[in-house]
Structure 1
Amino acid sequence: MSLSYKRIVIKIGSNVLTQDNGLPDLGRIAHLVDQISAIKKQGKEVIVVSSGAVASGRSVLTVPNRFDAVATRQLFAAIGQVRLINTYSELFDKHGLVCAQVLVTKEDFRDRLHYLNMKNCFSILFQNNVIPIVNENDVISVTELMFTDNDELAGLIASMLNADALIILSNVNGIYNGDPKDSSSKVIEEIGDSVTGFSSFITTQKSQFGRGGMMTKSHMAQKVARLGIAVHIANGKTEDVLLKLLKKEVINTRFVPQKNASNKKRWIAHSENYAKGIVKINEGAKLALASSKATSLLPVGVVQVLQDFQKGDVIKLVDENDKLVGLGIAEYSSEKALERLGQKKQKPIVHYDYLFLNPEIA
């Protein structure tokens, strides 16, 4: 029995799209486009988050070593984005399909208005049967403006669009219970909300041509699964991997989705970088929030306001060891919160409906 996903985000990593010499693997890209086109023609909506712009730029131009790394990356990205989207456009055109380029930066997710504007852009593309090809705008995204990697971007896009599934194509079959190079290691085929400690198996090594590693993939996958979206990590170099995955015919790691979260919670889940305030909560409040019961954060559970905020700001909740417990929208300002600190029978500082808990404590 095939998986019945209707809206799928497919993230294609740098190591899938590039050859060993760092140049684009055009045969692999064409094979993936063939598969995506077949899925699209099944009546599904597909969003592609594609790496490969810098590699595409590198295939066009050789630059002297005197340029610094950031400037060289910007140069390759500016050239490569044109080359990459043209490659996709020509390949999809052979299948009678139209694709569009959507370039984003972290700034596009910084507030609700930007977020909704971007969501509207995707809506009009879907209505016109266009396949969005999403990539970080590496030309202007440098240092603090950069996503951790395209896995983080793919998670944000999947959450924003309420996708049924996010498929991350890497150069391994999934998350292993040991070193992937060890023949005795096996792929963990399913990771549910109750599975913990699997991150100890994961190598911290970054991918050869990308910025991310399996650790960032797994943390992002857990977060997205908690929002009600199934996440698969599979090997993008396996023949027909997408078609086989949807038919359950290929080994991969699947993060089991939890109950669907509201649109507001999806935005909050990915808003850590834009949080304005910080409150420290006691152990009792932490346990109450992590319980199965829907619980809001009350002033009685707050021990300290570490950073000021206004009503409506996204704030961080940290425990007494300064570890992130969750994110939420403040019901009132830090000034009012300080007046009510430690008091019982007060209005919540963060209501449950506007609270997202860190998967590691929830």
Structure 2
Amino acid sequence: MMDIRRLVLRIPGQWEDAWLYRGNLIVWDRHGAIYYVPVDKLRASAIHASDRHHGVLADHLVLRSERKSSLEFQDVLAIPSIRREFFSPLKAEPEVVISITPTVLRLASIEPIPGNITDTVVYGNRIFATSDAGVYETQFDSRYDEPSPVLQVIDAPATAVVAGNGQFAASLGDLGLISREVGFGDGDQWIRSAKNASVETLAPYSRNVTRSSVHLLNYGVDPIPDFIRATTRIDRRENGFQESIVTKFHQPSSLLQSLRGVMSEELTVDEMTAGDRFEVLGNANYRLLVRFGSKVQVLNLRAFQNQPLRVNQDRRIDVGKMMTRPIRHAMSTQALRSGFLVEHTGGVHILNDSGVIELTKELVVQARTFPNSRRYVDTVVLVREECLDLVGFVDLAQ
């Protein structure tokens, strides 16, 4: 049985969204202004607000410095007596909150994002944001913090944006799903490359878009999203970094045929296409969260190069036994190293092989995870009505 304890770094204020990117926390207020604070300063603020022991725990659970920890440290922490002492400040309560003053945040030299923000993503020193006024792009680099303009990519309301592998994509409702290459470069180079890049329409309608590895899932009118396969190449840069770069997105194809092979014993084709008994609630990378009738199940989506799409059941995660309240509608599903996060009308929960972790019973303004980061792979950001929480967790029963 799990014994989950949460450590929260809380920044009071009315915020709209937040991202942990490299060594910084980037935050949007509800007027579209962008703030940031280096992670090292957050760590120092946590120590100042509590003590060094809590600061080290925040560093380990929230800010995730264990990426740089030695194997020797991991071996030492595996000793039961040392592990008990290390996590001892968390034993008294299920959740320990360390409040950090909002004055640690610095206003970035970037123009506010126009309109009411609906989604954001940070990738390759670029910030992409969607709002009811359009799709926007700007540059962020805390090393210099030089003034950066906000470029309007699309002049139309947008609901969602994703970015990675050299491309970004955005949902524009009736105007469709669009994508464009991300031009890398510093200074004014990014502006020139962004203005010269052509925008491609991938689908005629899109209410939401998510990533599954390098591929896309487009959520449209139907209860089942379309799968958009990507062709990639390996890009090696001068600094030694290499990345799979998307060179082409193929035509959208329905997941219906793939899902029928898994769900045929439970539902008829008509029930799957109608949506009253069957719906794909969302996906977290390669995992699909599907509802059929009153049941919710996790399926795995596999799309290897030059191989047909495969869907099979994830037998390790039993949602029915984990959730005390059924998931009827998911606002977002996001990947974590230890499982995946579900933001729904009953709160925010993490589902993994061991069980369910409840982060909150309340609706939140925004929930974020960072599965593509090497550092914050199990950190969750919850933007609440009156504060911003950075949440780390540990199972003391392990």
Taking structure 1 as the reference length, what is the TM-score of the superposition?
Answer: 0.24
Answer 1 or 2: which has greater helix percent.
1
Taking structure 2 as the reference length, what is the TM-score of the superposition?
Answer: 0.23
Answer 1 or 2: which has greater strand percent.
2
